[in-house]
Structure 1
């Protein structure tokens, strides 16, 4: 298991492995108080929350960032069916219980946002509020997801379809894990993403690779040490576990048939980068918030920010998270400067 003194782990945070049904989940926790469970997206790790852990802890919360099953130090089952939404929800419930808690606020980014809203939808008794970063809640409905995404690309292949065939995307990514990650992060970042006239990375030309459309620029918010840490974990695990979440979308659609069109009613928060390219095809989900998220407290677009919102703009995201969390208890939000000073001292 990684050491608590590695260059990524915030001072005062600690690593744990906890048992969940048929697997183990690795997590990093910091602070005491009400539990806030943080769920990362693709292709990331618990470390995508490295800026939020100390800020939440300093504000009086028990912040816990997991490695989702298939990632990092968590178990990676071989069966694609082991990555359907119900399995992730059971993992999250088991983590809450293993930490000795009965309930938690859950916050997710990218695929983690979908896992977070699925957890809130299926287990409202455990997850009392939900925060979504980057990806809005979209209820189950309409055709199968594979049919929807197959129709998006036109003459080119939408990246979700590109990820479906086992081994195909792995062959591209794993030939140069660090280089692929660097390019993917840069291409979806606000400060380095495609400029006018540059093709979208989300569409893959016939016979081509996603990496063919990566930008060569380097994000200002990602250090070599941080990139090396994530790349080393994926070099060790490979990408199959991570990609299996994409390969489970139709299974989710089948499993959630009883929740067709169902809203998530708990208090919620949405934060996304104004330059997040994924919002182009998710705009309808945002427009539907009055119906799909009746408990929405606030929704924010961070100017000039791309997809990796909590890493690109950690101070702003921390401020929004803390204000929302305080609103759940009817308390005044903590002063951001005071929170930063306490985090620095922890």
Structure 2
């Protein structure tokens, strides 16, 4: 099913809805050639890849950015179990098939990085290379995630644990979605966020809210119109679908038992902002790359950049992506 383009769609890009198990996925595609599937994170949309779609198309690729299930115009299932990692992998497989392809390179940012990595881990026959932005690959380990989260933060609460109880984070966010998004984006951005490595942004004060740690200001890469577009999508869908990804982390740990400690062997790429606070608490995962990512082609920290790397530094990310893709073969 073809969808009408929005004013925010890159020129020559096309909107589509494709059937997947249990629903539909909305995607935006541009270009022809080998398929590159782009998977966004929290709290974003296909729109976070607006700068990559035309760049990859110009480089000879068929670039496809999806709204992950629970977001935007894709289906928003009610059941938390519908957001287990296997469901996201099946969505990505169904998108590849619906587009008439047999294989794809998959690239993700934030939660999308984890979804992309696990898609490549579970289906290496389809996802032949994987790019990860912002969040490094970390294999399934011995400790249940909820137990690990409970040990982090002391008197304060780690944000992932804060997101676990259905309705709790929604009660904070949904009364003013636009203001919450603006604060979250600014707090994790390189030009407006706190000093590099300040992990306090990930912790909720006792009896408080995550937004108590937000900074004021607007990142230079985010206009009022762009914020309005993103806020409008989340005001329409609510945040429960997006937050349910966090609520499946223990379920994922159970589902991935067969892959405990498994490396990703496909050709891979990692890109993150040097000011991204998440890199500080995920430093061990980056250090483990020689073991966990034996196919790593290159790893980059983008100077002066925060968490939203492909939006904050689109030209540099586009160059890194296309250079890496060329190492996989000429389109």
Structure 2-normalised TM-score?
A: 0.98
After superposition, where does 1:40-51 map in structure 2 within 5 Å? 40-51=40-51
DSSP 3-state at the match of 2:282: helix
Structure 1 segments of 4 or more deviating over 3 A?
195-199
Number of residues of Structure 1 aligned to a counterpart in Structure 2: 330
How far off is 1:2 after superposition? 6.2
Residue of structure 1 in register with 2:4 after alignment:
3
Residue of structure 2 in register with 1:32 after alignment:
32
- Asked if the contact 1:268–1:297 (Cα under 8 Å) also holds between the matched residues in 2, the reply is yes
- Asked if the contact 2:196–2:274 (Cα under 8 Å) also holds between the matched residues in 1, the reply is no
Residue of structure 1 in register with 2:130 after alignment:
130
Residue of structure 2 in register with 1:222 after alignment:
222
Residue of structure 1 in register with 2:20 after alignment:
20
Cα separation, 1, equivalents of 2:276 and 2:184: 13
DSSP 3-state at the match of 1:175: helix
- Asked if the contact 1:29–1:65 (Cα under 8 Å) also holds between the matched residues in 2, the reply is yes
Residue of structure 1 in register with 2:286 after alignment:
286
After superposition, where does 1:154-233 map in structure 2 within 5 Å? 154-195=154-195, 200-233=200-233
After superposition, where does 1:289-300 map in structure 2 within 5 Å? 289-300=289-300
User: Relative to 1, partners in 2 of residues 1:59 and 1:198: Cα closer, same or farther, differing over 3 Å?
Assistant: closer
Please report the RMSD computed on the Cα atoms of aligned residues, expressed in angstroms. 1.4
DSSP 3-state at the match of 2:172: helix
Q: Deviations over 1:134-189 (max 9, x none)?
A: 00000001210111111111110000010000000000000100000000000000
- Asked if the contact 1:7–1:225 (Cα under 8 Å) also holds between the matched residues in 2, the reply is no
- Asked if the contact 1:194–1:200 (Cα under 8 Å) also holds between the matched residues in 2, the reply is no
DSSP 3-state at the match of 1:269: strand
- Asked if the contact 2:203–2:210 (Cα under 8 Å) also holds between the matched residues in 1, the reply is yes
- Asked if the contact 1:199–1:213 (Cα under 8 Å) also holds between the matched residues in 2, the reply is no
User: Are 1:243 and 2:264 counterparts?
Assistant: no
How far off is 1:198 after superposition? 7.8
Residue of structure 2 in register with 1:342 after alignment:
none
How far off is 1:3 after superposition? 3.0
Gaps of 5+ in 2: none
After superposition, where does 1:91-110 map in structure 2 within 5 Å? 91-110=91-110
After superposition, where does 1:47-126 map in structure 2 within 5 Å? 47-126=47-126
- Asked if the contact 2:149–2:158 (Cα under 8 Å) also holds between the matched residues in 1, the reply is yes
Gaps of 5+ in 1: 334-346
User: Are 1:234 and 2:234 counterparts?
Assistant: yes
